[in-house]
Amino acid sequence: MIGLLLISHGQLGRVLLETASEIVGPFDEAEVISVGRKDRLAEVEQRIDDALVRLDSGFGVLVLADMFGGTAANVVLHGIDERPVEVVTGFNLPMLLKISTARPRAEGLSSLAQLVKFYGQRNVILASEMLKEREKIG
Amino acid sequence: MVDLLNESGDPRSSEHSELMSRPLPHIHRVDPRLVHATLLEAWVPYLAARHLVVADEEVATNLRGRTIFEMSARDVANTYFVAETLVPAVLSKIPPNEGVIVVYGGLQSFTRALSIGLQCQQMILGHLPSGDNRWRVHPSVYLGQDDYQWVDRIREAGVEVVVRPLPSDQPMGLRQDPDGRPVLVEMPPTIKDTRSALQSQADGQADDAHVSNVLVGQMVVVNERGLHLRAAHLLAQCAGRFVSSVNVISDGRTVNAKSLLGLTTLGAALGTKLELRVEGSDAEVAYTSVKMLFESGFDEGRA
C-alpha cells in the first residue's frame, strides 16, 4: 500500500491523524512527524528520510504537510528527487477521511495525490454564504 | 523594535509616540530555517514587507532551494537570493521606506554581511536550534559557545543583538551571566531611532539611486550542456527580475538576456566566452546575480 506521512508544526499532524482514526478507524502504514521550534534542520531531515524509507513498500509515500512554506514541507520538498513521494500541503480532515477509503484501492501514488488535493480544496467552503445562495434559488 | 522597546512610553514628545507605533522599515533576522511559516505569516504582515532578501550563498546557487522559497513567498512582491556579501548592494537599490526583511542562516552569515560594510543598528535573533552543549535562552533560541563569540563580534561592530522570535515577543537583549552562560535581559528603556543607520544611508543615496550604472564583464559558459533551453530559461528569469537592461554579446551579436529565444539562438556551448553588459539603476545587483548564475554553471556545476 502507498505509505502515508503527515508532517506538521507542533502536534497538528498527530492530532489530525488521531481524530481521523476516531472517525473512520485506524490508518495502517501511516506516520507523523512533528517539527518543533527548537529542532535542528539536519535532524528533521533525517527523521523525515527515515520515515520515508520505512513507509515505502514499493508504492511510494504520500506526504501531507500542514502548510506550504513551512519548514517541514520545505525539507521534504528538497528531497523529492531521491524518493518516490508526492507532497500535498494544507492538509485538512476531509483529506484524511478520503485517504482512508481511496488509498487501499488507488491506482498509483500520483493519482491518489491529485485526488487528495482536489478533495481537500473542494472542502474549503464559505458554507454560510453557500447556504444562503441555495435558499435564495430554492 | 521601537514600538515594543519602551512599553512604559515616553510622554515627553508626540513624535516619540508616533515613532513607537511605527515599525522599522526593515529588519535583519538570523534563522537557519530562512523562509518559513513564522517569517511569512507573522513578520511579513507585521512589517508590511514588500522585499524579502534571502542572504545565503548556498540557497542563492541552489535552484531547488530558491524555487521552494520563491513559491512560498508568493505574498511578498520581491524576493532576492544573494550571497551574504551582496546584501548592502541589494539594499541600496530598494526604495527607502519600503518594508524589507533580510534573513541569514546563522550568526556567522550575518557577520559576513557586516564584514563588507553592512550598516545597521540591530540584528534580530529569530531562531537557533537546541543541541548538545547549547544553552536555552528562549524556547526557540539556543546558543553554543561558538555562537556567543559571534554575538560578541556582532556587538563589537556596533550592532545590537536582540532576541525576538515573533513580532509579538518582547525584544530582549543577551548578556553572559557570571558563569559565562548567555541569559536574556530587558532592553534598556531608551527610545531608539526607528530608522537604522542603513536607512538614513539609503535616504542619502536616494537622489543618485536612479543614476544609471553600466557594468561590463566577460562570462564563460562552464557547464557541460552550455546555454541550452533550461539554462537560458534560468538566465532570462534572473535578468528579468531587474529594471536594468541585461545584454549578452557574442561574436559581435547582442541579445537581450531577458529573452529566452534570443539567448537560445546564441548556441553558446561549454567554454564559450560572452560579454555581459548591464545598464540601469540596479546594474550592480543584476550583474552580480547573472555572474553567479554563470559561475554555478546554471546550477548544473562545472563540466
pLDDT of residue B282: 77
Nearest to B130 among A9, A38, A78 (CB): A38
Average pLDDT of the segment spanning A124-128: 90
> For residue range B10-63, what is the model confidence (pLDDT) as tens digits?
333 333 333 333 445 679 999 999 999 889 988 888 888 899 999 999 999 999
Crossing angle of helices B63-72 and A71-78, in 10° steps, is 150
In whole numbers, what is the pLDDT of chain B averaged over residues? Answer: 81
pLDDT of residue A64: 98
Contact residues, chain B, for A9 at CB < 8 Å: 37
Yes or no, beta carbons of B37 and A37 under 8 Å apart: no
Yes or no, beta carbons of A71 and B127 under 8 Å apart: no
Inter-chain contacts counted by CB atoms under 8 A, chains A and B: 46
Yes or no, beta carbons of A37 and B140 under 8 Å apart: yes
Contact residues, chain B, for A67 at CB < 8 Å: 37
Domains observed in chain B? 2-206 (3.40.35.10), 210-295 (3.30.1340.10)
> For residue range A72-82, what is the model confidence (pLDDT) as tens digits?
899 999 888 88
User: A5 pairs with which residues across the strands?
Assistant: A31, A63
> For residue range B74-115, what is the model confidence (pLDDT) as tens digits?
888 899 999 999 999 999 988 877 889 999 999 999 999 999
Q: Given pLDDT bands bounded at 50, 70 and 90, which one contains residue A121? A: very high
Yes or no, beta carbons of B72 and A41 under 8 Å apart: no
pLDDT of residue B198: 36
CA–CA gap between residue B280 and residue B275 (Å, rounded)? 17
Give the N- to C-terminal CA distance of chain B in Å, as an integer: 48
Give the N- to C-terminal CA distance of chain A in Å, as an integer: 45
CATH superfamily, domain A3-137, is Phosphotransferase system, mannose-type IIA component (3.40.50.510)
Contact residues, chain A, for B69 at CB < 8 Å: 74
Q: How far is B257 from chain A (nearest CA, A)?
A: 29
Query: What percentage of chain B carries pLDDT values higher than 90?
Result: 35
Residue B236 clears pLDDT 80, i.e. is over it: yes
pLDDT of residue B251: 82
Average pLDDT of the segment spanning A75-98: 93
Cell triple for B132: 548538545
Residue A25 clears pLDDT 70, i.e. is over it: yes
Exposure string for B137-150, b = 16+ CB within 10 A, e = fewer: bbebbbbbeebbeb
pLDDT of residue B250: 86
Cell triple for B247: 545584454
Residues 6+ positions from B257 with CB-CB distance below 8 Å: B235, B236, B239, B246, B247, B248, B263, B276, B290
Q: Are B255 and B200 in contact (CB under 8 A)?
A: no
Q: How many separate helices (H) and strands (E) can be counted in chain A?
A: 6, 4
Yes or no, beta carbons of A38 and B69 under 8 Å apart: no
pLDDT of residue B191: 34
ipTM at complex level: 0.73
**Between residues B213 and B51, the one the model is more confident about:** B51
pLDDT of residue A53: 95
Q: Given pLDDT bands bounded at 50, 70 and 90, which one contains residue B302? A: confident
Q: Given pLDDT bands bounded at 50, 70 and 90, which one contains residue A138? A: low
Q: Is the pTM of this model over 0.80?
A: no
pLDDT of residue B96: 77
Q: Given pLDDT bands bounded at 50, 70 and 90, which one contains residue B209? A: very low
Active site residue ranges of B: 228
Q: Given pLDDT bands bounded at 50, 70 and 90, which one contains residue B216? A: confident
Give me the sign of the Cα torsion angle A25, A27, A31, A33. negative
CA–CA gap between residue B204 and residue A112 (Å, rounded)? 57
Domains of chain A by residue range: 3-137
